[in-house]
Amino acid sequence: MTTARRVPQFPASTPAADLYDVIQRRRDVRSEFTGGEIPDDVLDRVLTAAHSAPSVGLSQPWDFVLVRDESTRRSFREHVLAERSVFAAQLRGERAQTFSKIKVEGIVESSMGVVVTYDPDRGAPEVLGRHAIADAGLYSVCLAIQNLWLTATAEGLGVGWVSFYREEFLRRLLDIPTGVRPVAWLCVGPVRALADTPDLERHGWRRRLPLEKVVHYEKYRHGLAR
């Protein structure tokens, strides 16, 4: 085997960004998109970061569909708003009232949709590390999404993960083959600012758990906060 470096490199002009600061500032964005252009070099760094994520058996089972077309985005938005109503119809009282104030998508206001998909056939049938856990490939795709999200935040972009949709609708909309699974529609683009507090917390939907509620020692303890 050659020992040449095959790992993708970021160009020397890549800006510095503090990891912890980015983790703390990152938000799920719906309202703050400017609609401005994403410079090509920025988009390239963000996608390179996503593509540098770990993956089961080095299968890299992700794909990224960049959707700028306005009519595609409007069709998707219409579907998402219908699904929002489906969810809203399940709620009663205070929950319904609180939800009514929460915006769940910035599909048209953002600069583009980045649709991330999972292809279970990539590297198959001998995907190292997947024989016992079929979902391991799906997990890899999510790791790529988090790399994308963090670097986008570092670059002054906002990211909003929209999940009010039926996978089959999105598959047909983007001509995604059967067997390839859409995992996320990410609204991506420059933002005016990132909120200090997550939207859902600010609107009183849910409060964060303290860390100590989710850390266990040696064995899983029962009876934790839900």
**Candidate list 38, 42, 154, 188; residue touching a copy of itself; CB under 8 A:** 154
- Shortest approach of a copy of itself to residue 55 CB, angstroms? 9
CA 206 to chain centre: 20
Tokens, residue 179 = 């067997």
- Shortest approach of a copy of itself to residue 109 CB, angstroms? 18
Q: Which of the residues 62 through 91 are near a copy of itself (CB under 8 A)?
A: 62-69, 72, 83, 86-87, 90-91
| Continuous segment of H or E residues that includes residue 150 | helix 136-154
How large is the angle between the packed helices 93-100 and 70-88, nearest 10 degrees? 160
- For a copy of itself, what does the binding mask look like between residues 176 and 205, x meaning CB under 8 A? xx--x--xx-----------xxx-xxxxxx
Q: Which of the residues 94 through 153 are near a copy of itself (CB under 8 A)?
A: 95, 99, 102, 104, 117, 119, 121-124, 126, 128-133, 135-136, 138-139, 142-143, 145-147, 149-151
| Continuous segment of H or E residues that includes residue 187 | strand 181-190
Q: How far apart are CA 11 and CA 60, in angstroms?
A: 21
Q: Of the two residues 109 and 151, which places its CB atom closer to a copy of itself in the complex?
A: 151
Tokens 């799906």 appear where?
138
- What single letter denotes the amino acid at residue 226? R
Q: Of the two residues 38 and 183, which places its CB atom closer to a copy of itself in the complex?
A: 183
Q: Of the two residues 107 and 136, which places its CB atom closer to a copy of itself in the complex?
A: 136
Nearest to 195 by CA among 151, 146, 160, 155: 160
Tokens, residue 183 = 């995992």
- Shortest approach of a copy of itself to residue 208 CB, angstroms? 6
Tokens, residue 48 = 């390179």
C-beta neighbour count of 75 within 10 angstroms:
14
Report if residue 31 touches a copy of itself, rule: CB under 8 A.
Answer: no
- Shortest approach of a copy of itself to residue 190 CB, angstroms? 18
Number of residues lying near a copy of itself (CB under 8 A): 114
- Shortest approach of a copy of itself to residue 61 CB, angstroms? 9
Q: Which residues contact 89 (CB under 8 A, 6 or more apart)?
A: none
| Continuous segment of H or E residues that includes residue 190 | strand 181-190
- Shortest approach of a copy of itself to residue 31 CB, angstroms? 16
Q: Which of the residues 46 through 65 are near a copy of itself (CB under 8 A)?
A: 47-49, 51-54, 56-60, 62-65
